[in-house]
Homo-oligomer: A and B are copies of this chain.
Amino acid sequence: MYESYWKEVDQKCSVTIPGFQSLSYFANIKNLCWFLEPKLEEEIKRLHNTVGNAIVEDRHIVVGTGSSQLILAAFYALSDPLNESGPVNIVSAVPFYSSYPEMSNYLQSTLFKWSGDARCFNKDGPYIEMVTSPNNPDGVIREPVVNRAKGMTVHDLAYYWPQYTAITSHADHDIMLFTVSKCTGHAGSRIGWALVRDEKVARKMVKFVEINTIGVSKEAQLRAANILEIISLSCQTDNKPHDLDNFFEHSHNLMVQRWNKLRDVVLNNGLFSVPKFPLQYCKFKRDFTETYPAFAWVKCKEGMDCEKLLRGQKILARSGRRFGSEPEYARISMLSRDEEFDLFVQRLSSIRGIGNEK
């Protein structure tokens, strides 16, 4: 979806890396996160300050190979001091990001383990709650649900950007995760970052990335810094490079168009529903807006297998079961290329035909 924007600004956002640059493991040995490129740190802070979606003052920035690596780093950093009485429980409210269970359990660590739906969590002892807001898969704005002593939260704010939802306040949590994948569309770069309040936790997250991959690709960091810079520049009202569309306005308009197309099909259709979102005031846009999530969380009629039904029409979707939910639900990406998205909408409306024939 983002490709067209980046093609238009082509010349300005190419990055050239000479052969002798960034040979070393180190980026800044004086920084707690010694492999973080100073330019990337600067542009991360600038973008958050421009958008107003997270507090960066007095926070430690830890860069990761995508936010996946930082989720694992947070599990490691938070669980190590807590797991005296067995693995720390990792929970998230249903429907949760489908990778959390596998990420928690794949190495069969005795530090932490997946414990399912946060709303059903009734064990004693320490836990980590993953709070994804707006939520993947359903776009809902979330708060922690467990709220007990010995609890830690990790806020995955990958989708807390103005193209997807209203920026209502500077987020201010202990660990906040972001990624260029969802902010700018550059999923292939594998660059994520964590804003961390506690120095000890930040140090342990850095330690994790050090043992896991000895830092994060310098090329990817330099390019991400460049891309974030362009986005910040595009948001300026004064001194803005004259031919640069505001990135978030541009992307928000695309999201609105896509969701309108989807809602049109769903409206004329007896088989599906998609979530509705309240209007909220966005401090960045200075206007009211709904949430336009990166995924459509589609619900079929009771008793139907939504993924199967969609697959029958060659629509790639992930079953609600993968998110701890019912098979009536399925998740579909709203960020595909234009032609793919149009094909998806077209195929979805042809299912409506099938439904009406019955």
Interface residues of A, Cβ cutoff 8 Å to B: 2-3, 6-7, 9-10, 12-20, 22-27, 64-66, 68-69, 72, 76, 99, 102-103, 106-111, 181, 185-191, 208, 211-220, 222-223, 226-227, 230
Contact = CB atoms under 8 A, between A and B. Distances in A.
A214 B23 contact: no
B24 A6 contact: no
Nearest to A2: B23
11 contacts: A3-B23, A16-B16, A19-B226, A24-B188, A99-B211, A103-B211, A106-B211, A107-B107, A188-B215, A217-B220, A219-B220
B213 A76 contact: no
Contacts of A16: 14-17
Given A103-B211, A213-B68, A10 B19 contact: yes
A14 B217 CA distance: 16
Contacts of A191: 217
A229 to B, nearest CB: 11
Contacts of A109: 107-110
A22 B15 CA distance: 13
A136 B338 CA distance: 51
Given A14-B19, A19-B230, A24-B188, A223 B219 contact: yes
Interface centre among A13, A26, A186 (most CB of B within 10 A): A186
Nearest to A16: B16
Nearest to A24: B188
A111 B106 CA distance: 9
Given A190-B217, A214-B190, A18 B24 contact: no
Nearest to A83: B108
